[in-house]
Amino acid sequence: MKVLVTGGAGFIGSRVVRTLLAQSHTVVNVDKLTYAADLSSLEDVAGHAAYRFERVDICNAEALAEVFAQYTPDAVIHLAAESHVDRSIDGPAAFVQTNLVGTYTLLQAARTHWTSLPSNQRDLFRFVNVSTDEVFGSLPPDGWFTPQSAYDPNSPYSATKAGADHLVRAWHATFNLPTLTTNCSNNFGPFQFPEKLIPVVILNALEGNPLPVYGAGENIRDWLYVDDHAEALLATLKRGVPGETYLVGARNPRRNIDVVRALCAIVDELAPSQAIGKRETLIHFVSDRPGHDFRYAIDATATEKALGWRPKHPFEVALRATVAWYLENQSWCKRIAGRSGRERMGLGAPRS
Ligand SMILES: NC(=O)c1ccc[n+]([C@@H]2O[C@H](COP(=O)([O-])OP(=O)(O)OC[C@H]3O[C@@H](n4cnc5c(N)ncnc54)[C@H](O)[C@@H]3O)[C@@H](O)[C@H]2O)c1
């Protein structure tokens, strides 16, 4: 397949691009290159004969039309987004623009392209919309998100992702565009921009900086290794049914404080420092994120049955591999350090 990937220079997108190429697909990576993107994440495939990059904003209808006309893709995997909850609290405008207006603009461009295809290609065309479990809001101490869970987003980020999901669903119901949506849990792994919990903790622990934990650290996130997520997206592309929604998770709900402690122990072991001492002593609790969802947990049973997909990477093993990757790839970390989001954000100081 020739797959147009949006947001392919980001954390999950770059993994999806590499997985597609490894499985002999052709990839057109459409990315605006925001602060969160880095083309060096794709250095290993930049010269691949089946890979093309187009620096395009998904809000730009004209540029998107040109990309669709030039490459005539068989499918779209839509990952481009503003993705950090804390930034959405301080500056929601970019989230409304990219996540809502951008998704709408992309849907229209895909629809125009899809309508122009011969009927056999039109039947096979797919638009996979990559969303989040955060659209379902917060869970109490027990229970799981299922495909029947109601939308109940709480942050500007999750509200714009929820809106995008509704647009995608409507483009299927109204125009028959063969769309599918995946809602996945928190990802982690190599190349994640150091504004999200796991890379922030690894890099601060390594350098002996304070390790701020929101609230009492009791909030629970359900963790998914990025390689498993990329495989789930390919399975959705190949075996998913248009109009359906697939919940993607690996049954790894963990309290934030437990994840931070586990990371401290791994950093101590892989990069011991007498000067810094035990990294756990760097942990300190800071005021909570406004509207902080208490708990997420995904029941992926239906997705596993429907797509024949299963996560392969045990959480503890993948967490250790992730720490090792950040330790071994300090040049990548230093390259993006100037744009880093390791400072506290999301307390609601308005930016735009
Ligand atoms: N990271 C997670 O834990 C997680 C969990 C669930 C869902 N998701 C979803 O997965 C997708 C990818 O997440 P990520 O963590 O890789 O994000 P990321 O922030 O690392 O990457 C986003 C990419 O989108 C690009 N982009 C942003 N605005 C754009 C625009 N207007 N036009 C074109 N490109 C644009 C950026 O340049 C960047 O390369 C997002 O849709 C996100 O909502 C992420």
> At 295, phi and psi to the nearest 5?
-150, 140
5: β partners: 29, 77
The residues lining ligand 1, judged by C-beta closer than 6 Å to any ligand atom, are 6-7, 9-13, 31-34, 36-37, 57-59, 79-83, 98, 102, 130, 132, 161, 184, 186-187, 193
| Cα(12) to centroid(ligand 1), Å | 7
Residue from 11, 19, 182, 229 whose mutation best tests the ligand 1 pocket (most atoms within 8 A of CB): 11
Structure tokens at 1: 């397949």
- Helix, strand, or coil here: 216? coil
C-beta separation of 79 from 49 below 8 A: no
Structure tokens at 130: 């990559």
- Helix, strand, or coil here: 122? helix
Q: What is the pLDDT of residue 112?
A: 98
Q: How much is the average pLDDT of 161-179? A: 98
Q: Does residue 106 have a pLDDT over 70?
A: yes
Per domain, the residue ranges of the chain are 2-191+223-252+292-313
Would you place residue 341 in the very low, low, confident or very high pLDDT band (cuts 50, 70, 90)?
Answer: low
Q: If you average pLDDT over every residue of the chain, what do you get?
A: 95
Q: Residue 318, Cα to own-chain centre: how many angstroms?
A: 17
Residue corresponding to tokens 């900086």: 209
AA identity, residue 277 = G
- 127-141, 166-180, 278-292, 316-330: the lowest-pLDDT one: 278-292
Please tell me the CATH code under which domain 2-191+223-252+292-313 is placed.
3.40.50.720
Q: Residue 278, Cα to own-chain centre: how many angstroms?
A: 31
Tell me the pairing of strands 126-132 and 75-78. parallel
Neighbours of 93 (CB within 10 A): 12
Q: How much is the average pLDDT of 165-194? A: 98
C-beta separation of 245 from 147 below 8 A: yes
- 151-165, 225-239, 285-299, 320-334: the lowest-pLDDT one: 285-299
Would you place residue 351 in the very low, low, confident or very high pLDDT band (cuts 50, 70, 90)?
Answer: low
246: β partners: 182
| Cα(338) to centroid(ligand 1), Å | 19
Q: Does residue 352 have a pLDDT over 50?
A: no
What ligand 1 atom has the least distance to the C-alpha of 13?
A: 16
pLDDT above 90 as % of the chain? 91
178: β partners: none
| Cα(129) to centroid(ligand 1), Å | 12
What residue's CA is closest to ligand 1, atom 43?
A: 83
pLDDT above 70 as % of the chain? 97
Would you place residue 27 in the very low, low, confident or very high pLDDT band (cuts 50, 70, 90)?
Answer: very high
**Tens digit of pLDDT for each residue in 192-238?**
999 999 999 999 999 999 999 989 999 999 999 999 999 999 999 99
Which residues have a catalytic role annotated?
A: 133-134, 157
Q: What is the pLDDT of residue 340?
A: 65
State the Cα angle at 76 between 13 and 24, rounded to 5°: 70
pTM: 0.97
Q: Does residue 350 have a pLDDT over 60?
A: no
Q: Most distant CA pair in the chain: distance in Å?
A: 67
Residue from 35, 38, 39, 83 whose mutation best tests the ligand 1 pocket (most atoms within 8 A of CB): 83
- 165, 281, 285, 277: which is closest to 213 by C-alpha? 285
What residue's CA is closest to ligand 1, atom 38?
A: 10
- Helix, strand, or coil here: 72? coil
CA distances from 75 to 103, 280, 299 (A): 15, 46, 27
Would you place residue 338 in the very low, low, confident or very high pLDDT band (cuts 50, 70, 90)?
Answer: confident
What residue's CA is closest to ligand 1, atom 39?
A: 10
Structure tokens at 337: 């350090």
| Cα(58) to centroid(ligand 1), Å | 12
Structure tokens at 170: 């409507």
Q: What is the pLDDT of residue 292?
A: 87
| Cα(100) to centroid(ligand 1), Å | 13
- Helix, strand, or coil here: 7? coil
